[in-house]
Chains A and B, each alone.
Chain A
Amino acid sequence: MAELGTIALWLAVGLGVYGAIGALGGQVRGSPLLSESARRAAYVLPLVLTVAILSLVGAFVGRDFQVAYVARHSSLDMPRIYTWVAFYAGNEGSLLFICLVLSALAALALALAPGETRRTLGWTAAILLTVQTFFLAVTAVMANPFETLPLAPPDGEGINPLLTHVGMFFHPPALMSGLVAAAIPLAFVMGSLIGGKTKDEWLDAARQWGLVSWALLAVGLLLGSWWAYTILGWGGFWFWDPVENAALMPWLALTAFIHSVMVQKRRGMFRMWNIVLINVAFGLALYGMFMNRGGPVPSVHSFGASTLGWVFLVFLVVGVAVPFAVFFCRFPALTSSRSLDSMLSREAAFLVNNLMLLGIAFVTLWGTLYPLLSRLFGGQEITVARPFYDQVNGPLLLGLLFVMGVGPLLPWRKATPQALRRALLLPGLAALGTVALLAGLGMHQGYALAGFGLCALVSAGIAQEWWRDVAERQRALGEGYLRAFWRRTRSNRPRYGGYVVHLAVVMVALGVLGGSLFDRQRDVLLVPGQTAEIGEYQIRYLGTVEQPFGDRTEYVSTVVVQRDGQPLTTLYPWRAFYPSQSMAATRAAIRSTPVEDLYVVPSENRADGAVVFRLVVNPMVWWMWTAGPVLVLGTLVCLWPQRRVVAVRAASPLTAQTGRQSTSG
């Protein structure tokens, strides 16, 4: 099995090298045959890598401990379903996975490339294949998952128990895919620029693939938080770990990019800025990979000691320097076609949104680097962790929420006072009303009031716009409301998809506000039969059952929950001990409702049956996890292919005045 994988991997390296050189040659020498051949190499790559992946999966399923990677990350008593997780538990497997994802996405991107990018597609292909070759070569040479041991051990070391969770099935793959997918929009932009296409040729492709990368990262981040919430056993979901941050930063830059690219699409502005943004996003993605693979900052995520860090550092340098050099050379040709009409316009709001997103990314980067800086200059390492980010990024995130509420309400170009009033009156009132209501109910935390007020602003704004659009259509065409809603939404998917995503962000904001400002927490020691109270819940601990498994012993506690004396539910939180790794893992039992989560986790099992429980009440965290599917839905609406419309500009006001009015459509 392992031999097959090695062969496939090296074949893939060969294909990558051939494809990169072929694409370059085909483009430079204008040979369509060579270009086509190189592109086909890119199409074959995912197939070859699938063979490699399958052979590794086969080794896992067949318990082939001769393969070092399999021996290190699985064991006889590991349920086979966790092969999927064990697969990328280490550098080797995760790199192979990255290779597959990148090759598949790249093949898709090349096959679906829109017409405007066709003439420079050779450059794009060459860039993508070069990136792929890098990953393939690193995998084959430095982290080969198919390396075999001279002697097969009778049993493997087993999987890290923290990874045996449903969240782990999709969190790392989504994040890794999102990080590498950032290469695709960059390749389109760079391909066009190198090929001398300095207008908007790359726009659609870069927007679409930017969205794909963005959504993958978003889903990965949400799943990661969910995993941390249920398994790390402290009742929180995000703690600004350096590696979490490393995934958040490219996501922020991509968020800026997918917004600002709309300004370019509509108004032909911000072209240069968008190129900078995608460079920054890709650079941050590379930084994230570097941090993850041997970065110098402590984190719960690091893959552990490896020399790979250096390789990724070099890759980071190249991946930032080369695109920037291209940008620099093409600089004189990159001018935006139009200038701004008014400060009160959606264009201006988008720029503010961009700056705030980059600001948050910068604060986050600064926070991860400050310990190193203080060690370098002060001689003493200073920790930067959650309290710092909460205090500095908190206000920025609120500001972002504000821009997210107001921006989509502003018209393009210029807002007249009437238009402004019409757009902002109701959402503004909704926001103020929410704040007044909450303050009246006794909420006095400024952060919370501002946060909820802004959530109301965003939601009311979206509802108002959507409703007005639908009502308009209903009135104009006499359609039923449902039909009008459907048709109207279909007619401008990026817009309404964006609204859906914004709603998802509001849901996440609700969860973050509730979970971080209103959480209540207690650590209690309970003997069987004893009751503890948290909020209006009474938690009665009945006892713990010991369940031995092959690789672990699970201690499952039974906890009966009452609210105000009324029986509510029975929870079974557990804690497992893995003797082979002398490691414990917990699984919180969570009663989750839209109002609040009751979170019970055993943090210590005493020999006499007494258990230390951590009890947490987390208001509204439910909304955060529910936001995931909503976010995916919104992204799909944005991405769904739309009948292409060729825009024809009104040539000049003169033609309009003579009555020849051109329309788009």
Chain B
Amino acid sequence: MPPPPGVFDEAEAQSIDRMLMCPICPGESIDQSQVELAKQMRQRVREMLAQGTTRQQVLDFFVERYGPTVLAAPPKSGLNLLAWVLPVALVAAALAGGFLALRAMRRGNPEPVLDPYLAAVDARLSSSNLAEGQGRPDNNG
């Protein structure tokens, strides 16, 4: 579909395309879908941008008509903020938990370099990589 005359940022238009789901195709944004409605919506996005409509106004226009389902991602406000915050918080908590668990494991073993033999091996290993070179498969991995 040829873009209508008028000045607008095609990159911005495409980024809006990716934020809008095609209302009649399962799981595809209007950027992806090749059905007629998606093409018409893409064209409408460009027309609106050419008239000076802002990104948010364009999105609101479509939400008003097709409902919030038309947005490709939950809005970052209200209850839907949870959609964004919860996974990030949980991943952060998991990493923190992992860190604590590791530290606890280390506490259980208070003396990391506990004996002269291993210390000597460590020293040798850090000075050269020789011990790895002799085709001993369980040496490293």
Direct contact of A and B (CB under 8 A): yes
The answer to whether A363 touches B28, judged by C-beta atoms less than 8 angstroms apart, is: no
The one of B19, B33, B83, B115 in contact with A370, judged by C-beta atoms closer than 8 angstroms, is B83
For the A-B complex, the count of residue pairs with Cβ-Cβ distances under 8 Å equals 205
Q: Does A383 contact B (CB under 8 A)?
A: yes
Cross-chain contact B136 with A491 (CB below 8 angstroms): yes
| B140 engages A495 (CB within 8 Å) | yes
Chain B, interface SS category: helix
B139 contacts across to A, CB distance below 8 A:
492, 664
In the assembled complex, A44 has its CB within 8 A of some CB on chain B = no
Distance A269 CA – B140 CA, assembled complex (angstroms): 15
Q: B7 to nearest A CB, angstroms?
A: 16
Smallest CB–CB gap between A28 and chain B, Å? 36
A370 engages B98 (CB within 8 Å): no
Interface size class of A (residues with CB under 8 A): 35 or more
Of B73, B80, B98, the residue contacting A355 (CB under 8 A) is B98
Contacts of B39 in A (CB 8 A): 603-604
Would you call A343 and B1 a contact (CB within 8 A)? Answer: no
Q: List the B residue with the shortest CB-CB distance to A642.
A: B137
Chain A residue with Cβ nearest B30 = A234
How many of chain B's residues have a CB under 8 angstroms from any CB in A?
69
Interface residues of B in 93-138 (CB under 8 A from A): 94-95, 98-99, 101-103, 105-106, 108-109, 112-113, 115-118, 122, 125-127, 129-130, 132-138
Bound CA span A392–B139, Å: 38
Bound CA–CA A653/B122 (angstroms)? 14
Residues of A within 8 A of B5 (CB): none
Per-residue CB contact flags for chain B residues 60-72 toward chain A (1 = under 8 Å, else 0) read 0000000111111
Q: Which of A473, A524, A584 contacts B133 (CB 8 A)?
A: A473
Residue contact A392 to B88, C-beta cutoff 8 Å: yes
Does B95 lie within 8 Å of A359, measured CB to CB? yes
Residue from A241, A362, A383 having most chain B Cβ neighbours under 10 A: A383
Query: A533 on the interface (CB 8 Å rule)?
Result: no
**CB <8 Å contact, B73 and A384:** yes
Interface pair A385/B134, CB less than 8 Å apart = no
CB distance from A317 to the nearest CB of B (A): 23
Beta-carbon contact of B27 and A385 below 8 Å: yes
Contacts of A663 in B (CB 8 A): 136
**Contact assessment for B102 and A392 in the assembled complex, using a CB-CB cutoff below 8 Å:** no
Closest chain B residue to A411, Cβ basis? B125
Q: Mark A334-378, 1 if CB is under 8 A from B, else 0.
A: 000011111100001001101110110011001100100010001
With A234-B34, A300-B26, A300-B28 as contacts: A388 and B73 at CB distance below 8 Å = yes
Query: What 8 additional pairs, Cβ within 8 angstroms, besides A241-B27, A354-B98, A422-B126?
Result: A239-B29, A356-B95, A380-B67, A383-B21, A384-B73, A388-B83, A525-B2, A653-B118
* 5 closest residue pairs by CB, A with B: A359-B91, A472-B133, A491-B135, A298-B26, A234-B32
Chain B residues in the interface with A (C-beta under 8 A): 1-3, 10, 14, 18-19, 21, 25-29, 31-34, 39, 42, 67-74, 79-80, 83-84, 86-88, 90-91, 94-95, 98-99, 101-103, 105-106, 108-109, 112-113, 115-118, 122, 125-127, 129-130, 132-141
